[in-house]
Each structure stands twice: as C-alpha cells, then as structure tokens.
Amino acid sequence: MSGYRIFVYFTPDELPATRSLTQSCAVVIDVLRASTTVATALKNGCKEIVPVETVDQAFSLAGTFDRQNVLLCGERKGHKVAGFDLGNSPREYSKRTVENKTIILTTTNGTRALLKAKKAEKCFVLSLINLSSVRKMFSENAADVHIICAGREGDYSLEDTFCAGSLIRELQVYHSGRLVRGNQQAVHAIELAEKYNDSYLEVLQQSEHGKYLESIGYEKDLIFCARRNAIPIVPIYKNGKIICERKTEHQT
C-alpha cells in the first residue's frame, strides 16, 4: 500500500522520545499566535527567526548580536516580556519594524514545539494564513509527516488541531491518488476540520486561548490569524533558524 503516513500530536510532549524525525517531515502549528507571527515576520522581510526556550536564553543570545540588527520578541501569558522589543502579536511585525532583522523569539508553547522538531529532515511552520502554501510542499515529499501542535500549556488546543486537520484535508483532496494514512489523533483532526470547514474565525473565538487573548485585549489578533491563506509563504526551520523556504503565488 503506497502513500505516506501522517501522525498528529496534540502537544509536543505527545511526540515519543524514541521517535526519530531525522528521516521525516515535521510541521509545527501554533495558530495563536507564534506560527502566524513567524509567517508574518518573514513575509515582511525579517532575515531569520531564532526560536529559544527561555527568556534568559533570549537575552543572552541577543547580546551576541549587534543590537541594531536584532529584535528580542515574545510573550509570557500573552503579554510582551518586559525588556523585549516586541510581543507575540503578529500585527507588531510590520515591514518597517522587522525588515533585515534577526528575530529572537520565545513564546509559551510555540517555540517549545519548534525545538522538539529541530532534528526533522524538514520542518515547516504552519498557520491558517499559509496553509495552502505549506500543503504544496508535500507534493514534493514522500516521507512520513509528523504534525506537532503547540497546544496550550501542555493541553490540547482546538485551533492547532483544527489547523492540522485542515492541512490533512487539503492533502487528501489534492493527493487523492496517494493514500494518506494516519494515527487516531489525525482522524480526530480531520473530523474537526470537516465540522468547522472554513469557519476559521469561529474556531479561534471558541478556543480557550482565543477567549483568553480577547480577555486581555488581543481580539484583533484572532481576526488576523483567521485570514485563510493571506500570506503565501513557507517558513522552514533548519540549523536552528527559521527562514523563508518559498513564496508561492497568492492563494484564492
């Protein structure tokens, strides 16, 4: 039986320690908001994004750069970290702010998920705003796919799982000749995507983190993060940095 397999993990900790990703393709999802921020920053011309786990690591790494060429970015509990240049609202990452800069990024869940996937042969960063662009990468990949949802503080997240299911649905549609087999989490993710279909904003508004972000004044971020295929680029994480692997033609 031909065809690659798709494994979805609701949180980074679900990825078995014994699972080697070196021969596989990984996809990291943090719709609210790290992967949306990553796609936006790259689209607006940042040089690269370096994910780190802790705030201290971010400060010490920034110290190795010429300060004018680097931006300290990220959040804790959704708010910009004291002393950082930017928080994690993708709306902060304008061309004027990020162009040609190295971005050092640490977030509560998203950067942890990225670091889990750093050994993958290929690791793409997926959000709702670049979904079809990332999907196109799989027509060139025959390896198993491991989709790692950032989740929320160690728990399942509706929005990341929905995004994973939406990607798999597109793969099934576009690669119907190739049998896509998956784990139980992948089956659930597809069912979620079929349930909500294109109601992206509704998913974000119903999610725990979406409600939290609204409660601390970031309701506009939900609208920004729900814009289907608004940013047709493919961020790839390799050698410890996230860069723009490809810009695809604008999706309808």
> How many residues are there in the chain?
252
- The answer to whether residue 33 forms part of the interface with ligand MLT (CB under 6 A) is yes
- The answer to whether residue 207 forms part of the interface with ligand MLT (CB under 6 A) is no
Stretch that binds ligand MLT, among 7-15, 32-40, 95-103, 173-181 (CB under 6 A): 32-40
Helix (H, G, I), strand (E, B) or coil at 90: helix
- Select 30 or 245, whichever has its Cβ closest to ligand MLT: 30
- The answer to whether residue 30 forms part of the interface with ligand MLT (CB under 6 A) is yes
Long-range pairs, 184-190, Cβ under 8 A, ≥24: 185/7, 185/8, 185/9, 185/10, 185/14, 185/161, 186/6, 186/7, 186/8, 186/147, 188/8, 188/161, 189/8, 189/147, 189/161, 189/162, 189/164, 189/165, 190/165
Which of 150, 168, 230, 242 touches ligand MLT (CB under 6 A)?
A: 150
Which of 40, 102, 109, 166 touches ligand MLT (CB under 6 A)?
A: 109
- The answer to whether residue 11 forms part of the interface with ligand MLT (CB under 6 A) is no
Pairing of strands 48-51, 102-106: parallel
The type of residue at 23 is Q
- The answer to whether residue 14 forms part of the interface with ligand MLT (CB under 6 A) is no
- Considering only residues 61 through 90, tell me which ones interact with ligand MLT, judged by CB under 6 A: 75, 78, 88
Binding mask 34-63 for ligand MLT (x = CB under 6 A): x-----------------------------
- Select 126 or 180, whichever has its Cβ closest to ligand MLT: 126
In the complex, minimum distance from the CB of residue 30 to ligand MLT, in angstroms, rounded to a whole number: 5
Task: Tell me how far the alpha carbon of residue 49 is from its chain's centroid.
Answer: 13
- Select 90 or 182, whichever has its Cβ closest to ligand MLT: 90
User: Which residues touch 222 (CB under 8 Å, ≥6 apart)?
Assistant: 32, 201, 204, 205, 210, 213, 214
Write the burial class of residue 150 (CB in 10 Å: 0-12 exposed, 13-18 middle, 19+ buried). buried
Which of 26, 41, 52, 110 touches ligand MLT (CB under 6 A)?
A: 110
Q: How many residues bind ligand MLT (CB under 6 A)?
A: 13
- Select 150 or 171, whichever has its Cβ closest to ligand MLT: 150
CA distance 252 to 238: 29
Q: Return residues touching ligand MLT (CB under 6 A).
A: 30, 32-34, 75, 78, 88, 107-110, 150, 213
